[in-house]
Amino acid sequence: MRIILHIGVEQTGADRLQRLLADRRADLAAQGVLYPKSPGNRNHTRLYMAATDPDHIDPLRFNRGHIAPEKQAALRDEVMAGLAAEVAEARPDLLILSAAQLCTLWRVSELERLRGMLAPLSDDIRVLAHVDGQARVLARHYATQVMEGRGSTLERELALAQAPDWWDACLAGMPAPDPAAGQFEETQAPPFWLDYTRLVAHWEGVFGTGSVTLCPHDEATFAGPQVMDALRAAFDLSGPLPEAVPGTAPAQPSAAWLARGRQFNALVLHLLSRHEKILPRQLWRSFLSEMEIGGVPIAPGALSPIADRFAEDNRALVKAHPALTAATFRKDRKRKLWAEADPERGFRASQYLLAFMFRIDKATRAERKAKKADLAALAAQPAPAAAAPVNGEASPDTRPAPTPTPEAPRKIEVARPAKAKAPDRQQVLSETGRALLPPLAVEKFEDLRTSPFAPHNRLGAVNEEELAAAYTPAPPRDLPEGNSGNVIVGCMKNEAPYILEWVAYHRAIGVDNFLIYTNGCEDGTSEILDRLQELGVLQHRNNDDWKGNSPQQYALNQSLKEPVIRNAEWIIHIDVDEFMNVRCGNGTLPDFFERVPDATNVAMTWRLFGHNGVTRLEDRLVIDQFETCAPKFCPKPHTAWGFKTMFRNIGAYEKISCHRPNKLSEAFRDKVKWVNGSGRDMTKEAADNGWRNSKKSIGYDLLQLNHYALRSAESFLIKRQRGRALHVDRSIGLNYWIRMDWSDYRDITIKRNLPRVRAEYDRLLADARLGALHQGGLDWHRAKARELHAIPEFEELYQQALKVKLTETERAAYALALDLES
């Protein structure tokens, strides 16, 4: 087996290649190629974190809780075991590993450790790096560094262009890592690896002469469908692979925005150097995003001294590496030498910092609590000694001397930090957690509780625990002929007790029409929907003759032929256990649309609601019975931030799938705008794929999707008996209960709808035939519950489920260990 180790370099399309490889895993596996998941699902950052020296704490290790040497060692063992298991199972001819961060490993000891991790798998290891003109790469890299907290200007790199040895000069000016003060080599140091000649020598010194291959990166090629040719050539792939969907090159921040961010970062770094404040990465990024201003990005031609510095070396590289050509290192048209842009509009970084100080203080308290042990260990470590490079190679056991503070900001008075409190319930395993969590889940708990992914409820501006005034009735719209308005298309199986409430609720908030497909129903679901169709409330289609892998996808494909969908303004695909909770204005869809007038796609993020202590199946409104839910900040497990999509019917996408529309037409690429539940733009993240929010894109302030996956404990039992309607051949057991029974926080915002929902619900029930069908469905479910209680297997599951009392961190850790699919 051959291993190809793709090391970037940074800002040369690694993200695009990683997405293509991850999306084509099955196709690659059929050709004897393994793109593993254990080092990272897409970007193999876990491999990078495992290879760094223990005292080389990079931003990833710091933010993901692998700070202490013993935690990093455990990560290394886990990565090695995971890779060995995947290789043993797949028995591939080629193993591809990819992390652009690997190019930043400058210590020989780190490369030796990395080789030692891979050597048990194969001794045939090839190193691959994509390269581009150094001025272009530096312009992109500087922008990325500023958005991660860099405080120095590009004047440093322009001065280094005159140094006799770029690599050594960069290492000599590298800051000593001080994670608590925001000082990371990767963020603050100049990119030594732009010296591609030394980069090749550095890696070949450990992996062997001739082991490194350089390939060209071109932004236009990587954004277009031709990227597949580049991928095949780089990784020596000969078999057929699905073609790539054309994209666009990542947009770069404006030079004015970078000036604002850099000046702000300099003040923040000065503040953090006193070790009295902690600024989490996510919050820092949020601050920088609030300073955004439009304009042109940095022109690579303004960095011409960098291009000139490497011109001769690049010509030699073209001769040594057949894939490279002179065009790879073409120079951009020279511009006026770079100088930091005007931040515009009277921007003053100090004013922003003072305005943000309250949020920094709050975050400091939270971080000191969450990372108490790790921060104490860091504080106890002696400061690393400075050392000059030895024989052109920095010693693996030393660090370069720190650079001076980039600016001389004015003094800012700050309050002394409060004493750290004793760990709360999230910091130690509960009695149930100790008894229930398997060893891997306990390990995940330890990782999670001190990481930036630990769940909490400190997000957004909505007061969810106090009931505000009830919403007023919203009369149905008079739609013009040929316009079906806001349409829900959904699928159901055995949901009789819940249909009328769900329909009444969504009619009350502004849904105009429904198209519902059913298959395999036994409880009267089809009959209820037929009656609602007779009453003109919705349209029902029988889906018993579905074909393919999923009754749901077959139904969604068929729905595109229906006039009610073709003539819709907005199309919404949700299930009967999901309720769109509009949390602005009068709580209706028109109120939400007013706040996002340019949106074409809305990612409605799930809020998972638990059983709330309700054991028996009752004839009461779901939205009134269940009010305990997951915390708002819950990036792990992946299902917690799943979303469903409401999208404007403009023809931008060819297909409706479970969570979102897919197959974006290129003609509409610049016309779609995705927003999250707070109305913020997330187009870059979601335009082409993905069905869950990230820490960057999460938001619930205007709209969230309340997901009542369990309802009562008896309802869960019935669901366990039949499996999930839309995913055939899959049962739901205790693992599903643990994954979905979030009961840590209270959200009653949806109850503002109760008066108008009850009015519509009662109006529907006034139809005698419909009322009888609803009662019949309820009776069927109660009889089924009695039947299941009498079966030992199901009664044991019922009792087990009711005994589970986990904290949110324990629940997330358990779900991560299970790695269930949604």
Q: pLDDT tens, 207-247?
A: 999 999 999 999 999 999 999 999 999 999 999 999 998 88
> Residues 173, 94: one domain?
no
- What was the pLDDT predicted at 308? 97
Average pLDDT, the chain: 90
Which residue from 717, 699, 704 is spatially nearest to 795, judged by alpha carbons? 717
User: DSSP secondary structure string, 38-66?
Assistant: TT-SSS-HHHHHHHS-TT---HHHHHTT-
> Residues 671, 714: one domain?
yes
Longest dimension (CA), the chain: 91
> Residues 165, 125: one domain?
no
pLDDT above 70: percentage of residues in the chain: 91
Rounded to an integer, what distance in angstroms lies between the CA atom of residue 370 and that of residue 451?
A: 8
Phi, psi of 124 (to 5 degrees): -100, 85
- 400 pLDDT tier (thresholds 50, 70, 90): very low
Last residue of a domain, one of 356, 375, 409: 409
Over 90: is that where the pLDDT of 753 sits?
Answer: yes
Average pLDDT in the 712-722 region? 88
Average pLDDT in the 391-412 region? 33
Which residue from 476, 650, 653, 659 is spatially nearest to 575, judged by alpha carbons? 659
> Residues 685, 708: one domain?
yes
- What was the pLDDT predicted at 408? 33
- What was the pLDDT predicted at 819? 58
Cβ atoms of 310 and 330 closer than 8 Å: no
> Residues 666, 800: one domain?
yes
In a domain, 147, yes or no: yes
Average pLDDT in the 199-207 region? 97
Over 80: is that where the pLDDT of 694 sits?
Answer: yes
Q: pLDDT tens, 94-110?
A: 999 999 999 999 999 99
Name 582's bridge partners.
Answer: 703
Could you say which DSSP state residue 484 is in?
A: -
Q: pLDDT tens, 137-193?
A: 999 999 999 999 999 999 999 999 999 999 999 999 888 888 889 899 999 999 999
- What was the pLDDT predicted at 793? 86
- What was the pLDDT predicted at 724? 39
Kindly tell me the burial class for residue 726, based on how many C-beta atoms sit within 10 Å of its own C-beta (0-12, 13-18, 19 or more): middle
In a domain, 459, yes or no: no
> Residues 362, 282: one domain?
yes
Rounded to an integer, what distance in angstroms lies between the CA atom of residue 298 and that of residue 135?
A: 10
> Residues 2, 56: one domain?
yes
In a domain, 425, yes or no: no
Which residue from 52, 147, 140 is spatially nearest to 99, judged by alpha carbons? 52
Amino acid at 257: W
> Residues 557, 679: one domain?
yes
Last residue of a domain, one of 379, 409, 439: 409
Over 90: is that where the pLDDT of 675 sits?
Answer: yes
Which residue from 351, 247, 335 is spatially nearest to 299, judged by alpha carbons? 335
Q: What pTM was computed for the model?
A: 0.53
Residue 422 CB coordination number (10 Å):
8
Over 70: is that where the pLDDT of 779 sits?
Answer: yes
Amino acid at 699: G
Is the sign of the CA dihedral 373, 379, 385, 388 positive or negative? positive
* Of the candidate ranges 411-415, 483-487, 532-536, 695-699, the one whose mean pLDDT is the lowest: 411-415
In a domain, 279, yes or no: yes
- 722 pLDDT tier (thresholds 50, 70, 90): low
- What was the pLDDT predicted at 380? 61
User: DSSP secondary structure string, 53-111?
Assistant: -TT---HHHHHTT--SHHHHHHHHHHHHHHHHHHHHHH--SEEEEE-GGGGG---HHHH
Ramachandran category for residue 59: left, alpha or beta (phi over 0 → left; psi -120 to 50 → alpha): alpha
- 435 pLDDT tier (thresholds 50, 70, 90): confident
In a domain, 326, yes or no: no
Assigned token pair, 86:
């995947």
Amino acid at 56: H
Q: Between 721 and 345, whose confidence is greater?
A: 345
Q: Between 438 and 482, whose confidence is greater?
A: 482
- What was the pLDDT predicted at 355? 85
In a domain, 474, yes or no: no
Count how many domains the chain has.
3
> Residues 226, 153: one domain?
no
| CA atoms in the 13 A half-sphere facing the CB of 509 | 27
In a domain, 456, yes or no: no
- What was the pLDDT predicted at 730? 33
- What was the pLDDT predicted at 375? 63
Looking at the chain, the number of H-run helices and the number of E-run strands are 33, 18
Q: Which domain holds residue 631?
A: 485-818
Q: pLDDT tens, 1-29?
A: 999 999 999 999 999 999 999 999 999 99
> Residues 664, 603: one domain?
yes
- What was the pLDDT predicted at 388? 33
Over 50: is that where the pLDDT of 418 sits?
Answer: no
Kindly tell me the burial class for residue 710, based on how many C-beta atoms sit within 10 Å of its own C-beta (0-12, 13-18, 19 or more): buried
In a domain, 664, yes or no: yes
Over 70: is that where the pLDDT of 392 sits?
Answer: no
First to last CA, the chain: 34
> Residues 638, 684: one domain?
yes
- What was the pLDDT predicted at 376? 67
Last residue of a domain, one of 409, 437, 455: 409
Assigned token pair, 31:
């050709």
- What was the pLDDT predicted at 106? 95
> Residues 695, 564: one domain?
yes
C-alpha pair distances (Å), 100 with each of 8, 130, 253: 4, 9, 21
